[in-house]
Structure 1
């Protein structure tokens, strides 16, 4: 079983923010249909299942994402976990893959690492940096031209994430799907 978790913040006000690219990608995958809603209060998030694939959008807010992943991990015991998140240290338009490693200061990743360890695959979608404060920037919305580019990135990321879920070979997926800005 594979758990794919997209990180973000719940609420209408966060829907199109840079910090919600993980949620956006889960929503894009869900559009294919075939997923059953298996959400429960104990999972602290929206959880969908299709065969051996689980899709999770934690409802704990970004900084406590680990609580939701731990609850789903403890119940379903997936053998493969993929986490999708924004990354300030990667230019907008780029996407990279990684297994384990440091959180890079990302609070959602710190939360996950503290509760389940860091032995999971990460799909890092670049949002770049700004001269604005980090909080204002990551919680800021993409402008229209960025959204056009982001939709292309998310389409590519969807194909990559599903291929990674199928193969489990992060090196091969990274070689094939990494995007450079």
Structure 2
């Protein structure tokens, strides 16, 4: 049973539309859907939603992507096991628009996932939002920090589809 949903991204308005921030954008929409508000805690923003009499925490680490695992002590303090979290992240290994769940596995070079795995282990559910790869491997850091092409026309419907998939999973 999912007790916490972590959306990965980088804090600040300059990063909002970047590929790497898709996790933030999706949890923001979930918070809107469930009419909740964010509160600021050390290292993270947190909101609570209620789904079928279950309380689920929404979390946006405010530590920048590479240190996302710093939210783990908060989760542990709440009694949330690694198997009860869902992490929403961008996925280079999937073509743009490919949306999927995956249980466990390695970080495959994703530093946000790597940080969480180092703190908590890898046995958590992931929601992967395919962003595709740049043509050249050395362009990856620049690519993930760029805005999506055709942001509104292409990405917003995919965010809606992602929210529906996640809602179905947590209900």
TM over 0.5: yes
Q: Where does residue 137 of structure 1 map in the other structure?
A: 143
User: Following superposition of structure 1 onto structure 2, how do residues 110-125 of structure 1 map, counting pairs within 5 Å?
Assistant: 110-125=114-129
Asked if the contact 1:48–1:56 (Cα under 8 Å) also holds between the matched residues in 2, the reply is yes
User: Which of residues 100, 104, 109 in structure 2 aligns to 1:100?
Assistant: 104
| Structure 2 spans left out of the alignment, 5+ residues | none
Distance in 2, matches of 1:142 and 1:37, equals 25
Q: 1:78 to 1:35 in 2, by over 3 A?
A: farther
Matched, 1:75 2:77: yes
Q: Where does residue 175 of structure 1 map in the other structure?
A: none
Q: Where does residue 130 of structure 2 map in the other structure?
A: 126
Matched, 1:22 2:23: yes
Helix, strand or coil for the counterpart of 2:40?
coil
Q: 1:76 to 1:147 in 2, by over 3 A?
A: same
Distance in 1, matches of 2:74 and 2:164, equals 24
Helix, strand or coil for the counterpart of 1:4?
strand
TM-score, normalization by structure 2: 0.88
Which digits, 9 at most, give the CA deviation of each residue in 1:33-52, with x for residues without a partner? 432544322xx110001231
Distance in 2, matches of 1:155 and 1:129, equals 22
Helix, strand or coil for the counterpart of 2:134?
coil
Helix, strand or coil for the counterpart of 1:109?
helix
Which digits, 9 at most, give the CA deviation of each residue in 1:11-40, with x for residues without a partner? 121110000000000111111243254432
Which digits, 9 at most, give the CA deviation of each residue in 1:46-79, with x for residues without a partner? 00012311100000100010111x0331221235
User: Following superposition of structure 1 onto structure 2, how do residues 1-181 of structure 1 map, counting pairs within 5 Å?
Assistant: 2-41=3-42, 44-51=43-50, 52-68=55-71, 70-79=72-81, 80-131=84-135, 133-143=139-149, 145-166=150-171
Distance in 1, matches of 2:110 and 2:3, equals 23
Helix, strand or coil for the counterpart of 2:114?
helix
CA RMSD of aligned residues (A): 1.5
Helix, strand or coil for the counterpart of 2:122?
coil
How many residues are treated as equivalent by the alignment?
Answer: 162
Asked if the contact 2:17–2:151 (Cα under 8 Å) also holds between the matched residues in 1, the reply is no
Helix, strand or coil for the counterpart of 1:39?
strand
